[in-house]
Amino acid sequence: MFECIIFLISWGSILIFSWLILRACNLSLSRPSIPSIVFTFYIGFNYLGIPLLFFYKVKHLYNIGVQDRDVIWFFWLMSSICLLLLLLGFLYAKEIFKLNVKSYETFSYEKHSVEKFEIIIILFLCLVIFIRYYTIANVIPLVELLKGGDIDPSQLRSDVSFFPGKMWRYRLFFRDVLPFISYCLLALLLVQKSRTTFILFVFTLLFTSFVSLMNFHKAPIIYFLIGLILVYLIKNQKKITLRNVLIPSVIVVAVMMSTYLLFTDKKIEPRFLLSPFKRVLSGQIGSAYFYLKMFPKDYDFLYGRGMLPNPGGILPFESFPITKRIQDYKKQDLRERGIHGSSPAVYWASAYADFGIPGAFFASFVLGVIIFAVHWFVSRGKLTPLKTALIVWLAIHLSKISVTSLGKFMLDVNLLAILICSAFITYGPSLRRVTLKGHSVFIAK
């Protein structure tokens, strides 16, 4: 009993202390910003659920071995210190580099018209890529589900992981480019209501929703819906209040419940209603638990092999498939059935597996500085639909440090693709006008 009381007091104290540091950075949970959203995701995925593991309230994690109270204490300590170091990185950037983040309430929303021609070109490219994906994929789980019949969701997800091609190329368009275009169109629609913009937005909304759900992955559609809510809040300069987010939150929860029941083949029973929430709060913690348990007890520290990218094997080391090893270790019954997957965890778990405790602490502080600087840079000047979309996409993208390895950000092709799309949308009209003008002059001559 005494240990439980000490744990709860310590756990709650970190929440209060982290909120005070956030306030010192001139950030607020009620005003959407990249640092505050990153903080919210971190708390939601890697902190609030720790008591569930401490008191063994997540049955499926307990059954696969999340039972060592010492490892759970260690996880709480690591998660707490890394959270505080992340926030201190925010504070360091604000005080040392004098990067003061303005409130969106002081911004003037410029009614800038995004040229739709460039957006249509990007959408057409995404559609072509989807058709290409559909023709070479062995199976699309959502299509199989709609056809009916007896299906195994776990087996279908495993089959998708063995896609005969480089899946990351398709995922880049499905999970990054399409949501970004949707955010841009929504921001434009909120400023300039037109039939063309509305039709494009509805098409993109449905297209993005389908590709987010088609492989039975629940996270992409949740991220997408949260992004749409953030676009609305930022454009209308609204704070995050119960009144403003009640209906959108109900929609997100309904989607989360529906996808969980649909993709896990569960029946609607009272005891399953809390399962999606438990999974959200404890899923990443459960994965990180095994990182702490396996390193360095079962494996030596990887010293970069698990986190650093090695495209095409050009570097003199062999990458260690850490997420797949963790998944096989967690769910040996699925491995025996030939079902394989991956088990990513919060960024500092991969940094710990590579460089130990110093690596996790160093990565947290540096990330804090970078995230705060990125928000300061993109938030300068007047907001436009394109800039709003970029801020929201960056907020969602950088928040994924709470659920994935740092290696995903070392060679950030996703960010490069979004910057290229932004440049194309921004400068495409000017290039077209210059080209058409030059062509007209040529014809006149």
The dihedral over CA atoms of 397, 401, 407, 410, expressed in degrees to the nearest 10, equals 50
> N- to C-terminal Cα distance for the chain?
91
Measure the CA–CA gap between 64 and 416, rounded to whole angstroms.
39
Task: For the chain of 445 residues, list the mean pLDDT of each consecutive stretch of 10.
Answer: 90 94 88 92 93 90 89 96 96 82 52 73 93 80 69 62 69 92 92 87 92 83 90 83 70 68 57 69 89 88 81 72 82 65 87 94 95 88 86 95 87 92 86 62 42
Question: Tell me, what's the pLDDT at 442?
Answer: 39
Instruction: Name the token pair of 151.
Output: 């299906």
- How far is Cα of residue 347 from the mean position of the Cα atoms in its chain? 12
Residue with tokens 């094997």: 313
Cα angle value 99/376/412 (rounded, 5°) = 125
| C-beta neighbour count of 273 within 10 angstroms | 12
Measure the CA–CA gap between 203 and 122, rounded to whole angstroms.
13
Question: Tell me, what's the pLDDT at 133?
Answer: 86
Residue with tokens 């300068």: 380
- Which among 252, 339, 329, 260 is positioned nearest to 292, based on CA atoms? 329
C-alpha distances in Å from residue 421, one per residue of 32, 186, 218, 389: 23, 16, 26, 11
